[in-house]
Amino acid sequence: MDIRAAEISAILKDQIKNFGKEAEVSEVGQVLSVGDGIARVYGLDNVQAGEMVEFPGGIRGMALNLEADNVGVVIFGNDRDIKEGDTVKRTGAIVDVPVGPGLLGRVVDALGNPIDGKGPIKATERKRVDVKAPGIIPRKSVHEPMSTGLKAIDALIPVGRGQRELVIGDRQTGKTAIILDTMLNQKSVHDNGPEKEKLYCVYVAVGQKRSTVAQFVKVLEERGALDYSIIIAATASDPAPMQFLAPFAGCTMGEYFRDNGMHALISYDDLSKQAVAYRQMSLLLRRPPGREAYPGDVFYLHSRLLERAAKLNDDNGAGSLTALPVIETQANDVSAYIPTNVISITDGQIFLETNLFFQGIRPAVNVGLSVSRVGSSAQIKAMKQVAGSIKGELAQYREMAAFAQFGSDLDAATQRLL
């Protein structure tokens, strides 16, 4: 047998030449315990706060609590498929979602995966869900009207592009109806209006019934309004981490339009349920509870989300993102923790009342308690002239109506006003 040393060494050299020096190291950890959508993981020493990790079967999670001997991970998916001792891998990526016009007309979950059965999302870009809000310099004061198409709101509590206007009221007072009407009323502008007037709509459903979300999408589709809308759904049956993440994912999708010189409207329906989901996660992660058992940073949760709605100046494309967050009160108690927090963050509120709703006044807006702190500068001149005196007259009417209950002999001027 003829052994040629030169030939063998040539083959070995050829194989060694293509051998990479870098071995791919994926840092791994082990699941210590799992339950209620939370996993405690040992290892992952260099994981960052907010980083995505991967469990077996492709289930994703996010590292939230970095402790001395373990990491608290919230699971975006079903925790029943994860068991003690499973291997957890770092991904090196922060949570991101697809953005762009390819999402219009689609229904997605909190991670941007389609859930409407219309095939994959055609999006080329991905953006991180939790980014810093624009600073003071890139912003401009709110000066363009954002027409809702509802006379009571456009005349008395006007909303401008880039404003954050809270819709607050008890259950079944027509909060979602206001948002649905606003989205449907943009259709005429999308059909015939100029490009710069168009308002793209993003609707985030948090903790609602699946049937309600399906009905909402059906109405949009029937009226032809789904073509300029994106729906993000984290329903009541989804895990708490998904309900916590959905508003941030929706905000990132809306910011794409804001940052590219377009206008978008985002509605969070509703933020009380997001706060409840965040409370559940925080308590399971053993973070100390505060007032009403909410964690200490629940204010920061909502402020960092709502501050991302802004009107940008001309140097930054003059785009805007308008936010209509929804808060559900219990028995008209506006002084509870979450309602007071969100009222202090937003630029005004539309207050809906059960009594007015049952009287047949719909939208059931209580004009006395509702305010718009920046909207009046965004009203068009014609609307200002028409609506200027209405608010004062309504206040006078309410005052006189209260007096009229006590006495029957009213002077002519009061009777005329009533």
SS (H, E, C) 91-150: EEEECEEEECHHHCCEEECCCCCECCCCCCCCCCEEEECCCCCCCCCCECCCCCECCCCC
Eight-class DSSP state of 359:
T
| Predicted local distance difference test score (pLDDT) of residue 383 | 87
| Predicted local distance difference test score (pLDDT) of residue 388 | 80
| Predicted local distance difference test score (pLDDT) of residue 408 | 66
Give the structural domain span for 32: 5-94
Name, in order, each residue with C-beta under 8 angstroms of 315's C-beta and a sequence gap of 6 or more.
138
User: Are residue 230 and residue 162 in the same domain, yes or no?
Assistant: yes
Condensed to tens digits (0 to 9), the pLDDT of residues 289-325 reads 999 999 999 999 999 999 999 999 999 999 999 999 9
Condensed to tens digits (0 to 9), the pLDDT of residues 119-158 reads 999 998 999 999 999 999 999 999 999 999 999 999 999 9
User: Are residue 196 and residue 268 in the same domain, yes or no?
Assistant: yes
Q: Where are the alpha helices (DSSP H) in 138-239?
A: 151-156, 175-184, 187-192, 210-222
The β-bridge partners of 125 are 99
Last residue of a domain, one of 79, 94, 109: 94
- Of the residues 223, 291, 373, 398, only one is catalytic, namely 373
- β-pairing, 263-269 vs 371-372, is unpaired
Query: Residue 252: enclosing H or E segment and its boundaries?
Result: helix 240-259
Three-state DSSP class for residue 71: strand
Domain membership of residue 333 (yes or no) is yes
> Half-sphere exposure of residue 142, counting CA atoms within 13 Å on the CB side?
26
User: Are residue 139 and residue 56 in the same domain, yes or no?
Assistant: no
Domain membership of residue 415 (yes or no) is no
| Predicted local distance difference test score (pLDDT) of residue 417 | 74
**Model's pTM, two decimal places?**
0.91
Q: Rounded to an integer, what distance in angstroms lies between the CA atom of residue 270 and that of residue 210?
A: 14
Q: Rounded to an integer, what distance in angstroms lies between the CA atom of residue 150 and that of residue 52?
A: 42
User: Are residue 164 and residue 208 in the same domain, yes or no?
Assistant: yes
Contact 253, 232 (CB under 8 A): yes
Residue closest to 183 by CA, chosen among 231, 145, 135 = 231
| Predicted local distance difference test score (pLDDT) of residue 16 | 80
Residue 118 structure tokens: 């219309």
User: Are residue 90 and residue 141 in the same domain, yes or no?
Assistant: no
Contact 246, 233 (CB under 8 A): yes
Q: Which residue has the tokens 């770092």?
A: 90
Residue closest to 126 by CA, chosen among 94, 162, 90 = 94
Residues of the chain whose pLDDT is less than 70?
Answer: 1-2, 18, 20-26, 407-408, 418
Domain membership of residue 387 (yes or no) is no
Residue closest to 363 by CA, chosen among 349, 372, 376, 351 = 351
User: Are residue 134 and residue 179 in the same domain, yes or no?
Assistant: yes
Domain membership of residue 197 (yes or no) is yes
Q: Classify burial at 192, counting beta carbons within 10 Å of its beta carbon; exposed 0-12, middle 13-18, buried 19 or more.
A: exposed
Q: Which residue has the tokens 């870009």?
A: 125
Domain at 206, CATH number: 3.40.50.300
The distance from CA 415 to its chain's CA centroid, rounded to whole angstroms, is 47
Domain membership of residue 203 (yes or no) is yes
User: Are residue 63 and residue 159 in the same domain, yes or no?
Assistant: no
Whether 373 is catalytic is yes
User: Are residue 236 and residue 339 in the same domain, yes or no?
Assistant: yes
Name, in order, each residue with C-beta under 8 angstroms of 113's C-beta and a sequence gap of 6 or more.
121
| Predicted local distance difference test score (pLDDT) of residue 387 | 85
Distances (CA, A) of 64 to 53, 80, 207, 281, 304: 11, 20, 21, 10, 17
Domain at 41, CATH number: 2.40.30.20
Domain membership of residue 268 (yes or no) is yes
Last residue of a domain, one of 73, 94, 115: 94
Q: How many domains does the chain have?
A: 2
Q: Is 305 left (phi over 0), alpha (psi -120 to 50) or beta?
A: alpha
Q: Rounded to an integer, what distance in angstroms lies between the CA atom of residue 81 and that of residue 336?
A: 38
Eight-class DSSP state of 309:
-
| Predicted local distance difference test score (pLDDT) of residue 378 | 86
User: Are residue 105 and residue 216 in the same domain, yes or no?
Assistant: yes
